[in-house]
Amino acid sequence: MRETLPKGHKKLLNAWAFYDWANSVYSLTIVSAVFPIFYGAIFEKNETVEVFGMDIRSTPLISYATAIGFIIVALVSPVLSGIADYIGNKKVFMKFFNYIGALSCVGLYWFSKDHIYISLFFYIMALVGFWGSIVFYNSYLPDIAFPEQHDKISAKGYSLGYIGSVILLIVNLAMVMTVDSGEAKIAAMKYSFIMVGIWWILFSQFSYYYLPKGFSKGHKVTNDVFLKGFRELKQVWIAMSEIVRLKRYLIAFFVYSMAVQTVMLVAVYFGEQEINWGGDDKKTIGLISSILIIQLVAVLGAIVTSRCSGRFGNIKTLIGINFIWAFICIYAYFMTESMHFYIAAGVVGLVMGGVQALSRSTYSKFLPKTEDTTSFFSFYDVTEKIGIVIGMAIYATVDLISGSMRNATVFLIVFFILGIFLLFRVPKESK
């Protein structure tokens, strides 16, 4: 029987961080790079598709589908996290979502506008699988690392994710660009979806080998347990009323994360629709090159952010990052040419990894000392998902009404400014 590694053990920390290497190929290939380009290729600009008796343009359609996926995550994850906490086995639920997401990525091979319902089903389930597994992945952090290790190991996880996903994206880029015909390029993109699923399952096994099951409690699942997660969320909210710093931070996170995640989810769709690339081949190369720029710069960004937080503090660093995000949204409104998009990609890369890694580690630092970290991180993840649902719904609606993704992007500035104001209200010391 394999010996359980103690908290803070280097091998245990590396195994936890390595799950970012496994799952980040979904974030890059499906969310950010190849799938948005594939989606833009099978739909003409401003083309509408009939869904449930309504004609809707392709860009708001995928935004609404994304929002639906996050609604499912927000509703399901408290139930499963409650069960996981009750029986003391996080790993089995993390695996469940992992495999659902990976197999759904494989299912995207059959994505087509002629079979839009099953296509969107695979897209939504891939999203649910990814974010569902992240609920349990994040909740492991206080279990396997001491508070002084949180910033460093969280940043390492994101860095590994960026490096691993870039490796696969380069392979996918070679597959797409070494063929000439449009149909062959589409086929190459579809094969990349299969590769994502295989990569995700294969490399996650290293993490599962070393990560503990959780705190075993010897309980069995009963009907009452299915509501336990929601009761725990309520208890967490009540507990937060006595921890002013944690509560105010979470409210600020809810607001600015709403905008951050929306920008990252729609960025390539924006570039595909609103930027003049000078031809389809140049568009494909340009968009994937932009994503590579983001990923490579993000490795540096995560490291720099970690050091800035050590020098200036987490909250001050997050305030600075939010100012940069607000500037990016203003800049995006005026972007028209490929060079503009490349510049924006570089700046986004600098702050993208930093804001995610620092937000996660800041929350873990503010938590009260307890073994029940799953319910606190479930609350964190539900907060993030509800924010994304609201952000994507607003973005899609502004896009649908105004007929322009450009107008919708500018609207997000409001959330960054409000997020900055709320971060200023977070006390320096726990109250």
Mind listing the pLDDT tens digit for each residue in 343-382? Answer: 988 888 888 867 877 887 888 888 877 656 667 777 887 8
- Identify the band that residue 7 occupies on the pLDDT scale cut at 50, 70 and 90: confident
Query: For residues 279 and 281, what is the distance between their CA atoms, to the nearest angstrom?
Result: 6
pTM: 0.78
Q: Quote the pLDDT of residue 183.
A: 84
Q: How far apart are CA 364 and CA 349, in angstroms?
A: 24
Go through 50-88 and write b for each residue having 16 or more CB atoms within 10 A of its CB, e for each that does not: eeeeeebbbbbbbbbbbbbbbbbbbebbbbbbbbbbbbe
Q: What is the pLDDT of residue 261?
A: 86
Least confident of 15-29, 321-335, 365-379, 412-426: 365-379
171-191 mean pLDDT: 86
In the chain, where the domains are located: 13-213+236-424
What would the 3-class secondary structure string for 260-302 be? Answer: HHHHHHHHHHHHHHHCECCCHHHHHHHHHHHHHHHHHHHHHHH
Annotate 22-84 with DSSP letters as a single string: HHHHIIIIIIISHHHHHHHHHS-TT-EEEETTEEEEHHHHHHHHHHHHHHHHHHHHHHHHHHH
pLDDT recorded at residue 1: 47
State the pLDDT at residue 349.
84
First to last CA, the chain: 44
Average pLDDT rounded to a whole number, residues 4-20: 83
* Overall CATH class of domain 13-213+236-424: mainly alpha
Band the pLDDT of 319: cuts 50, 70, 90: very high
Q: CA nearest 135: which of 77, 75, 208?
A: 77
Average pLDDT, integer, range 6-12: 78
Helix (H, G, I), strand (E, B) or coil at 222: coil
pLDDT confidence of residue 410: 81
Residue 134 has pLDDT above 90, yes or no: no
List, for residues 248-303, the tens digit of each pLDDT value: 899 999 999 989 888 888 888 888 888 888 777 788 778 888 887 887 787 788 78
The confidence band for 40, taking pLDDT boundaries of 50, 70 and 90, is confident
Share of the chain above pLDDT 70, in %: 91
- Among 5-9, 25-29, 64-68, 186-190, the minimum mean pLDDT is found in 5-9
